[in-house]
Structure 1
Amino acid sequence: AFLSEMQRLCGDISPKETIDFPTWTANDLSNFMVAVHPDADSMLSQVGVDPFFDMLDFASFTRDNLLATVVMQVFRSVHNLVLTLDIDDSKLFRFVCAIEARMQKNQYHNYQHAADVCSRLSAILKLSHMFDTPNNELYRELAAALLASVIPDIDHPGRTNTFLIRTRSDEALRFNEQHVIENSSVLKCLEIMQEDSLNFIAHWPEEEQAEFRLSS
């Protein structure tokens, strides 16, 4: 019942809404990530660890909210960023659900692509041992990098910047024809984070929040 209710709620999330979620526990979040296929549980342990992980295969086994599943696994289990950086994991989960809800169903730049990029980046960074030394500043950079890996697919139109500029789209005009899709995605991400219920770093010192937003 909990799982079906969370899926229903996450499917309705928009950055303009404030949804009254129940109190989340670590077990609740883990239960959400339990898949419908018996092989998916063992596959989950490879998310963010194996740079050659087959995300499309995993997506066929899992329930809805693939991106949220991957991001939570990477932040909570692979790099332990939730505890290390004192990230509000329930807000992080809702934030990623909101991002996923804003992704278009185009052929490439979609939630599956975002999940794949996040998982592969996590695996590459883990194998590099760049973040093995305990250092909160480095960990914040790691969290920002992982978040940045999913931002470009937010509301991606499935077209190139050149196409948007040549067709004089509203987005191209808004951003003065400069990195149109990238700037648009970042703006929408920041708009989502303005919601109190979705801002998973709201309790950080303002200086650290600003640095994190800039790094992402």
Structure 2
Amino acid sequence: MASSKFRKMLNKELSHFAESSKSGTQVSQFIISTYMDKEDDDPQMPQLEVSHAEPPTPSTSTTSESPQLSLLGKAKTAAMSRISGVRKLRSTYGGQVPEFGVEGQRELAVHMQRVSTQQWSTSDHYPFKHFPLAPFIHYMTGCADASLKCAFLNSTDGLLDEWGPNIFKINELSKGHSLTAITYTIMKNRGLLKTFEIPPGALVTYLLHLEHHYRDNPYHNQIHGGDVAQSTNVLISCPSLTGVFSELEVLAAIFASAVHDVDHPGFTNQYLINSNSELAIMYNDESVLEQHHLAVAFKLLQDSNCDFLVGLTKKQRQLFRKISIEMVYTSLVYGLRKMFGSFVTVSFLSLNFTLM
């Protein structure tokens, strides 16, 4: 009896709630269908009638859907659509992926590989250890003689593993796609594409889409993103760090470096907070830029054409996301320091001793 009275009172309150808005109707439907036992309904108790229902959409299934799942799905879609700066995918990359991820001028190989052009005489006896570069040397010198010798210093390693490659030249030769060329080449050279079964086309599609979301700022642009990715690659290549990081940690570190300033508006966190900007309001004045960079980066991954992490398990994806968030949240510098710990000090001390 008491239960029946309670249900009558609940039904009355929900009726008023449902009349206020469409969202109220959805909530009331969910509560009634989930928590009110229809089998024991009092026949004298009036049932809640909904006067306005959501119109069906073309993508709506004809089969009945759980109210709670419908509400959660709509809430997720609405929330994700409010991420500022996210734009639709312009194109996907299909077919054979070029050596460096993007089409570029032939000289690009010289700037992506460790090559010394100090001596070009045929009297120099330096073998072509990295034979695929021969066509590029031919292009640069105009000499078709295969006996032409060039100085290749440890040519199995690339300039991307050293400090100081000409990032601006790489951007020029890659036709404005330095971030894609650098990040793709680093991941490929490290064997990460094979280790995690990363589809090359999906990776290039994501990186090009990521570049599209970098703004044309004087500093926080896609060139800077590629530059930081290359610098991170050098840091984690220190001999003293060999075997310290797992392959997944390396993948996350390169990814975080590439995305860490995507859609940067060109202002500091403090300026955005003081000016009461939309980004500051969205992220509650807490690490505004860092949260936004991460939101955009992972939102782009939700496009099936851009999801290059399809080969990862659920646990691996969660760990990948956690590492990436920690690195970007701490502005990379502190993230690298946290990852390296004392190894950073040892590495730089070793470097100083070497230079001395």
TM range (shorter): 0.7 to 0.9
Contact 1:15 1:195 in 2 (8 A): no
Alpha-carbon RMSD: 2.1
Partner residue, 2:161: 49
Tell me if structure 1 keeps the 8 A contact 2:91–2:205.
no
Match of 2:182 among 70, 80, 103: 70
Whether the 8 Å CA contact 1:202–1:209 is kept in 2: the answer is no
Structure 1 CA distance for aligned equivalents of residues 296 and 240 of structure 2:
32
**Shift, 1:187, TM fit:** 0.3
Partner in structure 2 of residue 88 of structure 1: 199
Alpha-carbon distance in 1 for matches of 2:105, 2:168:
15
Distance change >3 Å, CA 127–CA 176, structure 1 → 2: same
Task: Give 1:196 shift.
Answer: 0.7
Question: Aligned letter for 2:104?
Answer: A
1:151 shift after superposition: 1.5
Q: What are the Cα deviations for residues 85-141 of structure 1, in whole angstroms up to 9, with x where unaligned? A: 2222211111111110000001100011011111111012112453447xxx81000
The aligned amino acid for 1:150 is A
Say which of 165, 171, 175 aligns to 2:283.
175
Which residue number corresponds to residue 35 of structure 1? 104
One-letter amino acid of the structure 1 residue matched with residue 223 of structure 2: Q
- Counterpart amino acid of 1:112? I
Find the residue that maps to 2:253 and give its secondary structure.
helix
Return the index of the structure with the highest Cα Rg: 2
Aligned to 1:164: 272
Q: Structure 2 vs 1, CA of residues 131 and 87 (structure 1 numbering), >3 Å: closer, same or farther?
A: farther
Alignment check: 8 A CA contact 1:152 1:181 kept: no
Aligned partner letter, 1:29: P
Question: In the aligned structure 1, how far is the partner of 2:290 from the partner of 2:215?
Answer: 15
Relative to structure 1, is the Cα distance of residues 182 and 128 closer, same or farther in structure 2, using a 3 angstrom cutoff?
Answer: farther
- 1:80 and 1:15 map into 2 onto residues whose CA distance is 31
Which structure is higher in helix share?
1
d(CA) in 1 for partners of 2:92, 2:222:
24
The residue number in structure 1 matching 2:299 is 191
**Does structure 1 conserve the Cα–Cα contact (< 8 Å) formed by 2:93 and 2:204?**
no
Q: Return 5+ residue gaps in structure 1 as ranges.
A: 1-13
| Greater relative CO, 1 or 2 (CA 8 Å, sep 6+) | 1
Q: Deviations over 1:165-191 (max 9, x none)?
A: 000000001111000001001000111
- Stretches of structure 2 that go unaligned for 5 or more consecutive residues are 1-85, 114-157, 325-356
Give me the whole-angstrom Cα distance separating, in 1, the residues matched to 2:249 and 2:258: 15
Aligned to 1:4: none
The 8 Å contact of residues 151 and 185 in structure 1, kept in 2 or not, is answered as: yes
| Whole-angstrom distance in 1 between the partners of 2:286 and 2:204 | 31
TM-score, structure 1 normalization = 0.82
Change (3 A) 1:206 1:152: same
Q: Which amino acid aligns with 1:35?
A: G
Pick closer, same or farther for the CA change 1:115–1:20 going to 2, 3 Å.
closer
Check conservation: 1:131, 1:138, Cα contact below 8 A. no
Structure 2 partner of 1:11: none
Counterpart residue type for residue 30 of structure 1: E
- Give the aligned partner of residue 17 of structure 1: 89
**Paired residue type of 2:112:** L
Residues 8-31 of structure 1: CA deviation (Å, up to 9, x unaligned): xxxxxx753374543x33xx3217
> Aligned-pair distance for 1:35?
3.2
Residue 67 of structure 1 contacts residue 112 of structure 1 at CA under 8 Å; is this kept in 2? Answer: yes
- Indicate the SS of the match to 1:155: coil
Which one of the candidate residues 215, 226, 251 is aligned to 1:115? 226
Instruction: Tell me how far apart the structure 1 counterparts of residues 92 and 168 of structure 2 sit (CA, whole Å).
Output: 32
| 1:126-165 matches, cutoff 5 A | 126-128=237-239, 130-132=241-243, 138-165=246-273
Letter in 2 for 1:187: A
SS state at 1:142 partner? helix
Contact 1:53 1:120 in 2 (8 A): no
